[in-house]
Amino acid sequence: MSRSLRRGVLAATVLTLSIASLSACSAGNDAQTLEIKPDNAETSVGDIKVQNANVVTQPDLKAKGPAVITATVFNNGVKDQKLDSISLPGTGQSAELSPAKGAAKGPLTVPAGGYLVLGGKGNASAVLANGREAAQDGNAQPVTFSFSRTGKVQIPALVVPAHGYFKDFGPEVVPQPGTTPTGTGQPSESGKPSESGKPSESGKPTESGQPGAPAGHDEAHSGH
């Protein structure tokens, strides 16, 4: 194969790879194509980086109640930092911060060289008591994170209802008017326990409720 022909083949190969790479990038940025969460805003101040910040509201668009703030906070420094507060400027609302399930009670800490996850099962939480009043779905809501060393870090968080991807990250659902809890633990219409929970007519437990008493047990007692 001549040099000119080899150069032609190489150029064609590079062009093909470039087109393939561009196509892959295009697909990667299309959240609907990959069925993943769209990219959210992120910001960095000093050693702190806040990523994927959202305000997740009630799934029912008309329901009032708590909302939660989700985010991942990275600490690129050599010292731990405490997350002192999260607030929504202009609303007068601040989030109630709670540690992850099983973690020690106290301030939330972003470890040096590590990260802190807010929102989602088992993770630390940031709850806004009146989320619907503080933020409107579809808006980019400014949220301020305050840290012990870095200070204030503000980021526009997307406000979304707890649907789709965000379903498992949403707040506690507020029951709607007119609904009643259901379950086997409800009393009967008379207000008394159901038949299966009533004692026998003699006032003694039914046979099925006795803890394996031997035959003749009652007769032995009656003879005393």
**53-76 pLDDT per residue, tens:** 999 999 988 888 899 999 999 999
Average per-residue pLDDT for the chain: 73
Q: In this model, does residue 49 exceed pLDDT 50?
A: yes
Residue % of the chain over a pLDDT of 90: 43
pTM over 0.85: no
Which of the four pLDDT bands, split at 50, 70 and 90, describes residue 153? very high
The domain limits of the chain are: 42-169
The pLDDT value recorded for residue 183 is: 41
Q: In this model, does residue 88 exceed pLDDT 60?
A: yes
Give 46 or 39, the one with higher predicted confidence: 46
The pLDDT value recorded for residue 87 is: 96
Which of the four pLDDT bands, split at 50, 70 and 90, describes residue 36? very low
Distance CA 108, CA 48 (A): 14
Of 72, 84, 80, the residue nearest 115 (C-alpha): 72
165 φ/ψ angles, rounded to the nearest 5 degrees? -55, -35
> With contact defined as beta carbons under 8 Å apart, do 160 and 58 qualify?
no
Longest dimension (CA), the chain: 115
> With contact defined as beta carbons under 8 Å apart, do 55 and 69 qualify?
yes
Token output for 155? 């980021």
Distance CA 82, CA 80 (A): 7
Distance CA 152, CA 45 (A): 9
CB atoms within 10 A of CB 88: 21
Over the stretch 90-122, which tens digit does the pLDDT of each residue have? 999 999 999 998 888 889 999 999 999 999 999
Over the stretch 10-34, which tens digit does the pLDDT of each residue have? 444 433 433 333 334 333 333 333 3
- In the numeric block, the tokens 């959240």 are attached to 31
Superfamily of structural domain 42-169: PCu(A)C copper chaperone (2.60.40.1890)
